[in-house]
Amino acid sequence: MLRHWHVSFLSFCFFFLFLFLFLWTPYDEISATRTFSVDLINKTCKTCSDKSTVFNYTFCSASLQEIPVSRTTNLQGLAIVAMELALQNATHTLSVIKELRRNETWGHPFASACLRDCDVLYSDGVITLVDAVAAFLEGKYGSAGAWLTAVMDGTTTCEEGFGDMEEASPLTEQNYSVFQLCDVALCIVNLLVSHA
């Protein structure tokens, strides 16, 4: 319980740190960059999509544009938005997993074992995403990228576990969303490294 509260508190702090940095930007500068930032989202998602066969341009663009602050920020800001979205989705997925595990009538014993594994993977993944955000804010892009990759691997392992047991996964949509959001953040981090 303490560990979960600690993660929620850190997530809250990171989100408001980002909002503070955004609100600190003069209004005239925000207005001047509004169109540029929407273009930046589309250009960034297109660049990332061109680099990977698993990257979903539509998912990237829709996810980032859904958050108003992402339309008025720079590339670093987009990375933080993507990581915050990944953290929110991973935290929600962990709640879904725990609810499914509490429902003793759900699924086959093999599926219960898969859920147990996913519980561990997502518990670690939430902590890892907090570490990724912290590393990014400290300018440690290599570490942030490594943490994001680890979370992506966790979502894949969770999903494949059900397939290995020939069970239908109840988490396909959640695993896909967290994977894609981490991929968005990872691609942006890599773009920042390449332009450094």
What burial class does residue 110 get, using C-beta atoms within 10 Å of its C-beta: 0-12 exposed, 13-18 middle, 19+ buried? middle
| Count of alpha carbons within 13 angstroms of residue 136, beta-carbon side | 30
25 confidence band (pLDDT: 50, 70, 90) = very low
36: how many CB neighbours lie within 10 A of its CB?
12
Task: State the DSSP code for 72.
Answer: G
| Count of alpha carbons within 13 angstroms of residue 146, beta-carbon side | 7
Instruction: Write out pLDDT tens, residues 135-162.
Output: 999 999 999 999 999 999 999 999 999 9
Which candidate, 64, 27, 18, 28, places its Cα nearest to that of 45?
A: 64
17-46: average pLDDT: 57
Amino acid identity, position 152: M
* Domains in the chain: boundaries: 28-192
Fold of the CATH domain 28-192: Butyryl-CoA Dehydrogenase, subunit A; domain 3 (1.20.140)
